[in-house]
Structure 1
Amino acid sequence: MSLARLFALIQYPLPHHLLSRLLGRLADCQQPWLKNALIQAFIRRFEVDMDEAAEPDPTAYATFNDFFTRALEDDARPIGEGVVSPADGTLSQFGPIEAGQLIQAKGHRFSAMELLGGDGEAARRYLGGSFATVYLSPSDYHRVHMPVGGTLTEMVYVPGRLFSVNAATTHHVPNLFARNERLVCHFDTEHGPMVMVLVGAMIVAAIETVWAGQITPLPRGDVQRIHFGTPVRLEKGEEMGRFKLGSTVVMGFAEKLDVDGLAPEQTVRMGQSLGQLPH
């Protein structure tokens, strides 16, 4: 048995939510000696470049979470043409949505309807469309931005597990992104409907949006849908949310995304052009 498969298997019995919430409390600790030690250890372990941060002094952050979700300098991520990457990370998979299925990893597909919380009507909007998945590792910048401009129409919280979403787990846990806790954000854009799914993961203490603040963790229960009477408009490149520790964003488009010379498992940066959608 490979180490990757063993890593995936040992996650099944773990108390995902309990571990994540306990570590979330640690990450929100404001004791200077503790939070500074955590931040400095993290910077050394992952070789974090603080020169591009809006606040380059690690000790200036009130908590580890504040450091982890730090802002960058205004010119650190130029915004490219067409559809741009919503985050720094790895473009793990992309392609057409065929028969309502998305690629998770080689040999693994999952259902768009399940990803969207069992909403068949929403899933039908993306039949014949395309998707792209960006994985944010712990060392990446952890704010999520708009790949194109759009108006928020609905937000859906979907409860679930909190498996890790790294490469080892995506290759060995079926339906991973449709199993984990997630936040589904539906937008109207000039290219038609777009959905951005912020997927929770092991040790992710919370998911936030710019229009509603911290959303997760919520008490586990049913799918919760929130409609917005007042439009929330966000332009391409604007921040839309953030992860408190690393996770994954799955984007869905009603049209085919013409990808610009990229390959699965390629490193991307927020604002980098991914491709073009028809108007």
Structure 2
Amino acid sequence: MTITTFLQHLAPMRLLTRGAGYLAESRIPAIAQPLIRAFIRQHGIDLSDALRSTPSEYHSFNDFFTRQLHPEARPLDKADWVSPADGIVTQVGTIEATQLIHAKGQRYSASTLLADPALAHYLEGGHFTTVYLSPRDYHRVHMPCAGRLLSMCYVPGKFYSVRPDIVQAIDGLLARNERLICWFQHPRCGIFVMVLVGAAIVGSIHTTWHGVVNPAGKRRIKRWWYRDENPSLCFEQGDEMGHFQLGSTVVVLMPKAAVSWGETWQVNGAVKQGQAQTRMHA
């Protein structure tokens, strides 16, 4: 165990996350602007593709961190599935018949990750990928394909960092952290899932249809079902579906189908939102 991993177990991550959330929401310029400018310097962030391109246009750190981009900044590739976010691909693989997802050097169960053994069983033989959003990345999450929202499940959990080295060091970390699980119906190939995994210093997870999903003090599993044909719950490929306040990870679980990964879709490779992920064979 490295010293960084050891500190993850010792540090009061929930308290630190809550404190960071208060600072990140502050709209006092004397607090917000130094935080924003220091973050830009530390991570070398380029605001040229953002709708608001100067730090002074942002009213809080979270306002800056969840910044929107120009519509043309992330064109969609012509593909059946595209990346839901900017980030690093940390895992690509299949959901095995044992309902275990392979991670580098470890395994963790799809049923635990999804908090639903029956729905995990439905995805046996399917495919999954994990995208890590580093602090410098664009932090809005978009639809990898078209889909209609079926259900959403909030699962409370730990607040470990989701840095790739720490994910590899702590068994089943993604299935232990706080997360939001969203089930969608694909127009042609069945149900697919997007899991938004919270992490250290992530103040909240926000969806376009619900707003903030994990308000402070709610420490129990909660489910929502969307059974009607509400047009607002039907999404096109590339539509925004949510965002993180501070960095985290997105796991996409796809139904069983013959797919080939895009040429640039490699573990440890950088991807942009809208970049071709897979192409499905007829």
Above 0.5 in TM-score? yes
- Structure 1 counterpart of 2:82, which letter? V
What is the alpha-carbon distance in structure 2 between the residues aligned to residue 143 and residue 235 of structure 1? Answer: 15
Task: Give the conservation status (yes or no) of the 8 Å contact 1:191–1:277.
Answer: no
1:222 alignment partner, SS class: coil
User: In structure 2, what is the equivalent of residue 228 of structure 1?
Assistant: 226
Per-residue deviation, residues 18-47 of structure 1 (Å, max 9, x unmatched): 110110010001111221111111111111
User: In structure 2, what is the equivalent of residue 36 of structure 1?
Assistant: 33
Deviation of residue 68 (structure 1)? 0.3
User: In structure 1, what is the equivalent of residue 60 of structure 2?
Assistant: 63
Task: Give the conservation status (yes or no) of the 8 Å contact 1:156–1:224.
Answer: yes
1:153 alignment partner, SS class: strand
Deviation of residue 278 (structure 1)? 4.6
- Structure 2 counterpart of 1:263, which letter? Q
Q: Compute the RMSD of aligned alpha carbons.
A: 1.3
User: In structure 1, what is the equivalent of residue 273 of structure 2?
Assistant: 270
Per-residue deviation, residues 102-156 of structure 1 (Å, max 9, x unmatched): 123x211110000011x11110111010101000000000000000000000000
What is the alpha-carbon distance in structure 1 between the residues aligned to residue 24 and residue 195 of structure 2? Answer: 24
1:253 to 2:273 alignment: no
Counterparts of 1:128-143 in structure 2 under 5 Å? 128-143=125-140
Task: Give the conservation status (yes or no) of the 8 Å contact 1:160–1:220.
Answer: no
Q: Which moved more, 1:257-266 or 1:188-197?
A: 257-266
User: In structure 2, what is the equivalent of residue 115 of structure 1?
Assistant: 113
Task: Give the conservation status (yes or no) of the 8 Å contact 2:23–2:31.
Answer: no
User: In structure 1, what is the equivalent of residue 241 of structure 2?
Assistant: 240
What is the alpha-carbon distance in structure 1 between the residues aligned to residue 281 and residue 203 of structure 2? Answer: 37
Task: Give the conservation status (yes or no) of the 8 Å contact 1:7–1:168.
Answer: no
In the alignment, which of 208, 211, 217 is matched to residue 210 of structure 1? Answer: 208
2:10 alignment partner, SS class: coil
In the alignment, which of 43, 49, 53 is matched to residue 52 of structure 1? Answer: 49
What is the alpha-carbon distance in structure 2 between the residues aligned to residue 112 and residue 144 of structure 1? Answer: 21
What is the alpha-carbon distance in structure 2 between the residues aligned to residue 198 and residue 278 of structure 1? Answer: 27
Task: Give the conservation status (yes or no) of the 8 Å contact 1:151–1:234.
Answer: yes
- Structure 1 counterpart of 2:6, which letter? L
1:154 to 2:154 alignment: no
Task: Give the conservation status (yes or no) of the 8 Å contact 1:108–1:174.
Answer: yes
Q: Which moved more, 1:189-198 or 1:227-236?
A: 227-236
1:171 alignment partner, SS class: helix
- Structure 1 counterpart of 2:250, which letter? V
What is the alpha-carbon distance in structure 2 between the residues aligned to residue 46 and residue 132 of structure 1? Answer: 25
What is the alpha-carbon distance in structure 2 between the residues aligned to residue 276 and residue 24 of structure 1? Answer: 39
User: In structure 1, what is the equivalent of residue 12 of structure 2?
Assistant: 15
User: In structure 2, what is the equivalent of residue 127 of structure 1?
Assistant: 124
TM-score in terms of structure 1 length? 0.95
Task: Give the conservation status (yes or no) of the 8 Å contact 1:86–1:270.
Answer: yes
Percent of aligned pairs with the same amino acid = 42
1:71 alignment partner, SS class: coil
What is the alpha-carbon distance in structure 2 between the residues aligned to residue 53 and residue 196 of structure 1? Answer: 25
Per-residue deviation, residues 46-87 of structure 1 (Å, max 9, x unmatched): 111111001112111111100000000010001012210000
User: In structure 1, what is the equivalent of residue 181 of structure 2?
Assistant: 184
Residue 16 to residue 217, structure 1, CA distance change in 2 (3 Å): farther
Task: Give the conservation status (yes or no) of the 8 Å contact 2:142–2:273.
Answer: yes
What is the alpha-carbon distance in structure 1 between the residues aligned to residue 120 and residue 8 of structure 2? Answer: 29
Where does structure 1 differ by over 4 angstroms across 4 or more consecutive aligned residues?
none
What is the alpha-carbon distance in structure 1 between the residues aligned to residue 218 and residue 225 of structure 2? Answer: 20
What is the alpha-carbon distance in structure 2 between the residues aligned to residue 277 and residue 108 of structure 1? Answer: 28
